Amino acid sequence: MSNAATNLVALHTIVRREIVRIMRIWTQTLIPPAITMTLYFVIFGKLIGSRIGAIEGGFTYMQYIVPGLVMMSIITNSYGNISSSFFGAKFQRSVEEMLVSPMPNWVILLGYVAGAVARGLVVGVLVLLIALFFTSLHVVHPVITFLSVLLGATIFSLAGFVNAVYAKKFDDIALVPTFVLTPLTYLGGVFYSVNMLGEPWQAISRVNPILYMVNAFRFGVLGISDVGIGTAFVVMLAFVTGLSVLALQLLKRGVGLRS
């Protein structure tokens, strides 16, 4: 077998194993985000949103927050999937099964990222379907919608991987989502337009990467955005590149994996 065919089998093995894991514990991986987002739709979209009235572009508040909430669930689930799965493999030492194999590092990384992105996409679709019970949506730019979801999920899968590599105990993989991911998500324009903020908060918001993901996705779905769509994709691609290089370097050096 050629190296490419060998690597493809290895990649398929990791992705398949990750998807089997997601489906095996579906009550932990798929149901909780669906319930959480349903509550968001009911409370923020329906109850509070009905009193807010139309927001940017003539959209109802419910319509406005749907893209942000979908992206939020994609981000948190991609991140959570890879950080818990890879750290779990480290904790049980089953990661050694991969480390002693001839598989190159990029296959390990790509396999885990693909698994995490798959969970993010499945959860995103679930949340979107739930949203359709509360409001109607017409996707304006399907390609931009898909690419923004893919890049957003990839960025946070890579970030989750880096977190898992450094983590020494389970608490370490909970720290980042609690103290970094959640605040950035809430401040990333999920529930409001950053144009509503005064300076310096508007300028500060623009260094938050989640702002670009949420707005790229919102542009794809609704056709409105607080940031330039080109800028959003440049920022997302830069994060994908930077985090990929970092993750591969960590694997090459064996940080947290090889003595």
Partner 1 sequence: MTSAPALVVDNLRKTYGNGVEALKGISLTVQPGDFFALLGPNGAGKSTLIGILSSLVNSSGGDARVFGVSVNRQRGEAMKLIGLVPQEINFNQFEKPFDICVNQAGFYGIPRRIAAERAEKYLNELRLWDKAQDQARMLSGGMKRRLMIARAMMNEPRLLILDEPTAGVDIEVRRSMWQFVNAINAAGTTVILTTHYLEEAESLCRNIAIIDHGSIIENTSMKRLLATLDVETFVLDVAAMPAELPQLPGVTLRRTDEHTLEAEMARSHDLNSLFAALSAHGIMVTSMRNKTNRLEELFVRLVEHGRNDPARNGQEQAA
Of the two residues 24 and 195, which places its CB atom closer to partner 1 in the complex? 24
Question: From CA 242, how far away is CA 192, in angstroms rounded?
Answer: 28
Note whether 12 binds partner 1 by CB under 8 A: yes
Q: Which stretch binds partner 1 (CB under 8 A): 38-46, 95-103, 160-168, 199-207?
A: 95-103
Q: Quick one: 32 or 88, whose CB is closer to partner 1?
A: 88
Judged by phi (left if over 0) then psi (alpha if -120 to 50, else beta), residue 141 lies in beta
Q: Is 100 in the site for partner 1 (CB under 8 A)?
A: yes
7 near partner 1 (CB under 8 A): yes
Q: Report the run of H or E that residue 55 belongs to, with start and end.
A: strand 54-55
**On the CB side of 211, how many CA atoms lie within 13 Å of its CA?**
20
The smaller minimum CB distance to partner 1, of residues 17 and 46, is found at 17
| C-alpha span between 230 and 215 (Å, rounded) | 11
Q: What is the DSSP letter of 110?
A: H
Q: At what angle do helices 61-91 and 3-24 cross, to 10 degrees?
A: 110
Nearer to partner 1, 125 or 252 (CB): 252
Out of 28, 94, 178, 182, which residue is the one contacting partner 1 (CB under 8 A)? 94
Q: Which residue, among 44, 40, 68, has the nearest Cα to 214 in the 3D structure?
A: 68
CA–CA distances in Å: residue 25 to residues 81, 86, 154, 169, 178: 11, 15, 22, 21, 22
**Rule CB under 8 A: which of 219-258 touch partner 1?**
254, 258
Among 23, 31, 43, 101, binds partner 1 (CB under 8 A): 101
Q: Quick one: 90 or 206, whose CB is closer to partner 1?
A: 90
Options 97, 125, 178, 204; binder of partner 1; rule CB under 8 A: 97
Query: Which residues are near partner 1 by CB under 8 A?
Result: 1, 5-7, 9-10, 12-14, 16-17, 20, 24, 88-89, 92-94, 96-104, 254, 258-259
